[in-house]
Each structure stands twice: as structure tokens, then as C-alpha cells.
Structure 1
């Protein structure tokens, strides 16, 4: 008589498959996302539908649509972001083409300096140009002394100028990667048909790299559209939507949380529409190519080589000037807010005496954030890559939300959600760490997923088949193999965290101020020496972090 096999009920078999270690990881990630992304976003949207008396109303949206003050801010945001994206393309594409296709000199140095200018926060660039081209800037004064009167950096043109120099590296990095892998047989076919070099570039090369170029342009647009510090420092009345949301939320006459929420919702809608528009445009055409014949670097004659190297170095030099300016300014002798001839360490002595807490806070919060981001990023990446399902696809979509949420909007949503029981986080350092994790963890997840796609599953399966639990297998085997790739993404998360201003300016309390907030305050009170010293600390930390990332990655090219 054949033995009868007794099977467990279907629900129990499913539960055993789902509620292993990775099932619990998925659940915990969803709890975190629901609590700190979905719930704050829902609270923000709900608040926008209530007036100041707490009654349900659409008046906030009516005011936004009818009042010129609000419409102008939206137009200003689109104007500066659109122009910055246009000029970033004009600079970034030629720079990428020259450095990838021709044997110009100092490529490695230029690559590092371009990344350095990208990861430095835009508000430091704005602050540096104020020192040079402000109403009392040293270049402005020098030109006035020789009889040349130029317009100061303040206003729309200054915002576009700073954004362009700060963000064109996005275009450069994206397009450089595409140009290195493009199939040259298509360009050679066009050349054999008698097509001129310019027409070949315009009708063959650029269309082939359009998806990558559009992704870089999207990054530039989103970054400039969401930026708070640069328009605030040099706008002088030229208000953009993030500034207006901040001012409505934090006002000397009492903030209007409902209107601030409305402006925040409009910001999210605009960035989401731009994201979908970019994806729709790219999806309309097929850009596939074999990639079997990658381009070779063309050897130039001495004169063209010298001219192209000189032109590329000129662009890089101008873009790195802000970092050099703040470092030099930090050593100029000062008495109070006034600079004097000579050099000294006065500014550094003053910050160590007056604002040491801000320096300690910056590194403490960033270290806590990065430790959580690295561990959580690796676990989330494993779930997304190895445990694909509708649940993980939805998780991936929610994790993308911070891309369309400007820092000020995230800060406002967290305060609205956690400013009252049962969970009160406003005014604590915890809310800052949460904001940093939400905004910066995508860098770590991206680097972790990239390395996971390259790892063979056989090693993990062999370990589990020998009786090692999945959790132990991950931490003893998979995590160690992932570590080098994850480290570079973690360092980039660290760099952007220590430089974060947009969310910090909304969330910080006096005792939780960071370096970026203190620089912002010092510039507004005309203490340029101490502001420069603090900015120099951030720039030095950024440079050291980039060098560490360079060596950790095996001295390969760094890409952001």
C-alpha cells in the first residue's frame, strides 16, 4: 500500500515562502515607506484642501490660479530651469564630445574637477559668485575702477548662470558614457555617403544618444527647479516656487501651512509631469544599436589639440572657480564682517569658537544616515533584484518619489505629518536623519542593484543548499561581494548629505543646525569670512570623499 503524502494547506505553504527573512525585510521597508513617504505626502495633499480656519475648501488652488504673485513664481521656476537646462546642454555636450573623441590632455584632471563642481552644493556656487560679482564683489569693484560698469550677479541672469555652471556636469557625464559605447559603424556609413561632419553629428550621433542626453537634461531641470538656496541668495525679489513655499510655511507673521502645502503639491505635479514627458518622448522611438564597434580616440595635430585642450580647461576652470574662491576668502584677514589686506586663520578660529555645534551636527547626522543607507540600500536592492514581484515593483515606484519631491516640499510634508501626536518629531535631530535617508538612499540603491546584476546567484544558492540561512548567507557572502560597488554609491550619498540645504532649512531647530544652514545664515548677515571657512570645510570633505571613492572603485573613472 502506497504511503499517502500529507501536504500543508495552501495558505501555510505560501506563508512559509513569503515570510522568510526577505519577506520580513520587504514588510519593514513598506512600513518605513508608508510612514515617512506616503503618509507625509498624503498629509501634505490633505492640508492643501483646507483653509486657515480648518474648513474644507478649494480656495488655495483658486488663489494660486488667479493671483499673479503665485503664477509668476511658477513661471520664474520654469524659466530659470529651462534656460539652465538649455545652456547646460550647450556646454556639456561639446565637453563630452571633445574629451571622449579626441586626444586632448589632462582628461583625468578635468573629469575629477567636473565631478567636484557637480557635487558641491549650488548655494556655495551662488555665495562664491556674490563674493566675485556681487554689488561689492572684488571683480565688480576692479572693473568699476577701470571704468567698466557691469550688472551684478543678482537677479534671474545670475540664477541661470550659477545653475548652468553647477549642473552642466550632469550632461557631460551622461553623454560621455553614451559616446563611449555608441556603434561607430552607423557614423561611418553616413560618412561614406558623403555626409559632412556637422550633419553627421546632428542627424546620426545626437539622435542615437538622445535617451541618455534627455536623462541628463531631466536631471538638470529637476535639480534647478527644486533648488532653494541659489534663488534665495541671489534672486533679490526674483522668487521661484520653492522659495514661495518656504516663505508661506515659515513666516514672521505666522505661517500659512495650507497655502504652503498647495504650492508644494503644485511643485510635485510639475516635476512629475516633466518626468513622464521625458519618458514618453524617449519611448516613441527605437534607439537600439549593436554596440559592437565602439569609437576610437582620434589623434589630433598639435595646434587643434592645444586649442581644444585650452577650451575644455577654460570651461572647467570657470566651473571650479567657486570652490577656489571660498577657500581663498576663508584665509583673508578680517575684523568683524570687514576684510583687510593679508591672510590669517581668524575665520576658522571664529567658527570653532562660535558654531562648533553645527560642524559636529553635520558629521554626526550624516554618519548615522549613511550607515543606515548602506545597510538598508543593500537589503532593498537585493529584494528588488532577486525577489522580483508586483510588491517589489510597487516598492521601487515609491522609492522614486523623492526624485520628484524638492527638499523644501519633503521638509514641509514631514513637519505637517509629525508635528502632533501620536508621533512628534519636529525639532529633533531624528527628523533630519529621516529626511536625509529618504532623499539620498536612491544613490546607494542604484549602486547596489548595479553590482547585484553582475553577481552570479550560484554562490548564494550553494551556501543555502549547505544549510546556511538566507540572512546569514547574505551578510557573509553576498554583502561582501557587493561591498566595493556599494561603497562608491554610499560615498556619493554621504557627499550630498553633508551638503544638503533644501530640506534642512525647513526642518532644523536652533540646536540641530548644520554647516549648510549656518553658511546660509552667515551669508545673509554678511559674515562672508566665516561662511567661506565653513564652505571650505564642506569642499575639503567633498574632495577627500571623491578621492576615497576613486580608490575604492579600483581607480576607475568616477561617475555620479
Structure 2
């Protein structure tokens, strides 16, 4: 008598495959960095001297202090600026609000290195505004380099993240709460402080964490305008690929310290969020009201003034991209043409294709895995999928430069050699961006009733067919919106890519870095403008496919 073998559950196989991917491409690289941090560079024996070196030598320890200082200050500025902006945007009628929203988001979606570079063109030692103030008033303006410059660049770039998070919370706030507070005499500023802020606190804390993490992990801004102001990511990069000395074990030790610090910050934020969490569901969304004449003028001045300050450097950068340059491209001269763009496509045309190929490939990986993982977490929750869910958040606490170093250490030798290839860049980008897409996919899937899938199965559709033909199409708008936003962040990735790229895999964002380092400002401006156009088109497409045209987190 033959015993009929039971076919393995397809979703168990999917779970094990995804778990294996996490082990190979995330846990293994992190483990390699950890083991390298306690291995002597010369003898290969176990040692803790690199950790002792970091904390005992003020030269290195000050990088930790500097990174915390800039991250805390940037977070504070972004909260002070972004929370009121989100409140005013959602409470009052603002003319051109959808255009304003695109401009606000655009200020955050541009590459950090490009933001720093554009501010240097305005306020650097030979910047436009600097030269104008010197010639007109014989006054030397404040120096853009160092702490003040990093604070300016990151604050004008990241305040929109606070705006997005708080806007998302306000969309879930019931208008009856505001009406009730008004009936009790709480209006204007008092209502904002006593009602709106407490209800939005979980989103505010999430926004603060995001801004803090991005500031702490930012590489391009301090690299370009930090000068003597040393920060964590730049120090990791210098130790790994330094021009004078290279110490991979010391770079690994700093990387481990960076992971532990971001883990502590992440857990502290989660603790505060759980303590202050509220469940809100808006049956009646907030009705925007028309402000008085004076209030309307002040609101429009605040909103559009903030956006203008954020975007003027990038607008100036686009303007310079059409200026004629010398043959070497390092000096501007009178006249306008498409010369810079022509030179870019002649010498770096592959960067455009690489951006589409590498970032597009990473996007496909992120979307496919995010859909599968969200389905496993929401619909087929078990021990394995719980582990996958926890592992999916690990990249959230790993800075980009650490991801790049981990990938090189893991795949530079052995059975799987990927360094120098486009694949390793796709994997690194996917690892960095997948936590955000998974969270949004989980939220979308959680809103789809399970009864819809049960009805399809009862009518004879298999579970896989139900997912492909029923569930995914119902998630489509959310998936597409998340994919577009992920695309924007992928094309502006620098911190991990700068360690992993080769001459054959250079992307537009890396092209800006290469052109700036060579002093060819014309080409750098042209590439930056192309990248900005990609971002604008992506945001417009996002607003077209989203249900209400609003962008929020």
C-alpha cells in the first residue's frame, strides 16, 4: 500500500526562502562586521582594542559627540518648523496647496549631497550670495562650513518628514474633537497645544526618530561642508577607504558602535510611542476653514517662505546647469546653452541607464518582498513569520555607510563574490529601503477584510491565485504609491552606494559626487538637475495615482 506524501505548504516554503534571504544578505554581513571589529588587523586574533581606541582617543570620540549634537539640533529645528506647518496646512485653506505639498516633499526627496552642494554654490566662500554681500555691503557673511552649514542643510531638507508624519496623523483626527474643544473655549494656539499636540504625539515621536536617524546617518552633507566638523559616517568612510591609512577593523568597530547607538534610540522611541499611543479613526475629517485676512497672509508667508528657503539653492543649481563653462567644466563663463547636458550624456550617459537599471531592480526586489512579507505577517502569522517581521526592522537601525561596508566584507571573497557588480548595489539599496515599504504594505493589507479572500477560496480559487488575482489588485494603489516613494529614495541613495560602486555601476547621484570632487561644477549641476527632474516626475505620478492626491506617512 502506497503512502501518499503530503505536499509542503507553499507559504511555508516562501517563509523559509525569505528567511534565508535575510540570513544571507543581512545577518551574515552584519555578523562579518561584528567579527571584524574584534579581530586584530595584523594577527587576526581576538581583541577589543579598537573599541578602547575609539572611546579613549578624544579625536575619535568627538565624532560621536558631534553626530549627536547635530542630530539633536536638526531634530529640534525640524519639529519646531514642521509641526506648525502641518497643522496650518490641514486646518486652513491655503491657495495652491497641492503645488505647495509637492514643493515641500521635493525639498526632502532631493539627495542630501546635492542639497549641501547647492548651498555651497550660494553661501560658500565663492558663492553667489557671499560675493554679493561682500561687494554691496563690505560685510563677510557667516561661514556655511562646519556645524552651522550642516544644521542649515539638514534642517531645510528634513523638516518635510515631520510635515508628512503629522499630516498623516491629522487626517485621522475627527473634526468633532476640534469642535468639542472649541465649545469648551479651547481655540487657536491653546487648542493646538492642549489637544492637537497630545493626539499627534505618536506621529511626532516617529517623525523625530526618522529625522534623528537620517541626520545621524547622513554622509554627503558633512563630507562636503563639514570640513573640521567630523561626524560618525564620514569617520567610518575615512577609516575604510582613507587616502592616508586604512583600518578595516577600526571601521568595523565604529560601525558596531553606530548600530548599537541607533538601536538604543529606536527602542527608546518605541517605548515613548507605546506609552503615548492613541487610536484614532476619523468619521468626519477635519474641515479646512478660511483664515482671516491677516492670518491668511501670515500663513501663506510662513508656508511659502519656508519652501522658498528650502528650494532656492536647487533652483539656482538648475540655472547654473544651463550656463556655459570652460572646456574643463570647472569655471562658468557668459552665455547659456545645453553644453553641460551634452557633455554629461557624452561622458556619463551610462549613469542615467545605471540609475534606471540598478534603482529599478532594487525597486522590484523591495516591492515583491514587501508584498510577500506583509501577506505572511498579516494573513499567515506564525513563529517563522514573526521572526521575519522582526528581521524586517533590523535595517531600520543600520546606517547606510555600515550597510556598504558590511556588504563588501561579506561578498568580497568566498563562494559568493558580488563586489563591483550592479547586484551588490541593488541588494544594499533593497536592504536599506525595505522596512519602510513593508510597514506601508502591512497597513494597506490590514484594511482589506479577510472575508474577501475567504469568499474567493470558497468559490474554488486557490490561495496563491487569490493573492495574485484578488489581494494584490486591492492593494495596488497602496503598493504603487509606496513604490513611487521608494523609487525617489533609491535614486538619491549615496551613503552605501559610494562604498560599493565601480566605474561601470555609477549612478546619477554618484555622478554628482564624482563631478564635484573633480571641480567640474557645470556637469555636476546638469546631473543634479536631471536627478531633480526624475524626483519631480515621480512625485507628480504619486499624486496622480494616490486616492486623494495627498502625500502623508
Secondary structure of 1:231 counterpart:
helix
**Offset of 1:396 from its aligned partner?**
1.2
1:489 — aligned with what? 482
1:363 — aligned with what? 356
Q: Report 1:386-401 matches (<5 A).
A: 386-401=379-394
**Offset of 1:203 from its aligned partner?**
3.0
1:373 to 2:370 alignment:
no
Mean alpha-carbon deviation: is it higher for 407-416 or for 287-296?
A: 287-296
Secondary structure of 2:504 counterpart:
helix
1:210 to 2:212 alignment:
no
2:15 — aligned with what? 26
**Equivalent pair of 1:447/1:488 in contact (CA under 8 Å):** no
Secondary structure of 2:334 counterpart:
strand
Q: Report 1:229-268 matches (<5 A).
A: 229-268=220-259
Secondary structure of 2:243 counterpart:
coil
- CA deviation string 1:97-133 (max 9, x = no partner): 1111122322111111111111111111101101111
**Offset of 1:284 from its aligned partner?**
2.9
**Offset of 1:291 from its aligned partner?**
4.9
1:536 to 2:529 alignment:
yes
**Offset of 1:283 from its aligned partner?**
2.7
1:308 — aligned with what? 299
Scaled by the length of structure 1, what TM-score is found?
Answer: 0.93
1:277 to 2:268 alignment:
yes
**Offset of 1:554 from its aligned partner?**
3.9
> Which residue of the other structure, out of 71, 77, 82, is the alignment partner of 1:87?
77
- CA deviation string 1:247-271 (max 9, x = no partner): 1011234521111111111111111
Distance (whole Å) between structure 2 residues aligned to residue 479 and residue 202 of structure 1: 41
**Offset of 1:457 from its aligned partner?**
2.9
Change (3 A) 1:40 1:557: same
Distance (whole Å) between structure 2 residues aligned to residue 288 and residue 469 of structure 1: 35
2:147 — aligned with what? 156
Change (3 A) 1:454 1:207: closer
1:342 to 2:332 alignment:
no
**Equivalent pair of 2:172/2:280 in contact (CA under 8 Å):** no
- How many residues end up aligned between the 2 structures? 548
Change (3 A) 1:29 1:278: same
Q: Report 1:73-222 matches (<5 A).
A: 73-146=63-136, 147-183=138-174, 191=182, 194=185, 197-222=188-213
Q: CA RMSD in A?
A: 2.1
In structure 1, list runs of 5 or more residues that go unmatched: 1-5
| Structure 1 residue ranges, 4+ long, deviating more than 6 angstroms after superposition | none
**Equivalent pair of 1:446/1:489 in contact (CA under 8 Å):** no
- CA deviation string 1:180-199 (max 9, x = no partner): 33345555555555557434
Distance (whole Å) between structure 1 residues aligned to residue 177 and residue 459 of structure 2: 51
1:3 — aligned with what? none
Distance (whole Å) between structure 2 residues aligned to residue 368 and residue 183 of structure 1: 41
**Equivalent pair of 1:96/1:176 in contact (CA under 8 Å):** yes
Mean alpha-carbon deviation: is it higher for 468-477 or for 326-335?
A: 468-477
Secondary structure of 1:355 counterpart:
helix
Change (3 A) 1:194 1:466: closer
**Offset of 1:488 from its aligned partner?**
1.0
> Which residue of the other structure, out of 462, 465, 475, is the alignment partner of 1:472?
465
- CA deviation string 1:224-283 (max 9, x = no partner): 110100110110121100000111011234521111111111111111111111121233
**Offset of 1:201 from its aligned partner?**
2.7
Distance (whole Å) between structure 2 residues aligned to residue 58 and residue 169 of structure 1: 41
Distance (whole Å) between structure 1 residues aligned to residue 332 and residue 150 of structure 2: 26
Distance (whole Å) between structure 2 residues aligned to residue 211 and residue 512 of structure 1: 40
**Equivalent pair of 1:140/1:152 in contact (CA under 8 Å):** no
**Equivalent pair of 1:21/1:470 in contact (CA under 8 Å):** no
**Equivalent pair of 1:101/1:295 in contact (CA under 8 Å):** yes
> Which residue of the other structure, out of 534, 542, 550, is the alignment partner of 1:549?
542
Mean alpha-carbon deviation: is it higher for 453-462 or for 57-66?
A: 453-462
Q: Report 1:36-47 matches (<5 A).
A: 36-47=25-36
**Offset of 1:376 from its aligned partner?**
2.3
Mean alpha-carbon deviation: is it higher for 447-456 or for 263-272?
A: 447-456
Distance (whole Å) between structure 2 residues aligned to residue 271 and residue 248 of structure 1: 20
Change (3 A) 1:390 1:134: same
In structure 2, list runs of 5 or more residues that go unmatched: none
1:56 — aligned with what? 46
Distance (whole Å) between structure 2 residues aligned to residue 205 and residue 327 of structure 1: 39
- CA deviation string 1:331-354 (max 9, x = no partner): 011113110122111111111121
Distance (whole Å) between structure 1 residues aligned to residue 48 and residue 280 of structure 2: 50
**Equivalent pair of 1:218/1:278 in contact (CA under 8 Å):** yes
**Offset of 1:362 from its aligned partner?**
1.4
- CA deviation string 1:148-201 (max 9, x = no partner): 310231111000100000000011111122233334555555555555743443
Q: Report 1:425-440 matches (<5 A).
A: 425-440=418-433
Secondary structure of 1:153 counterpart:
coil
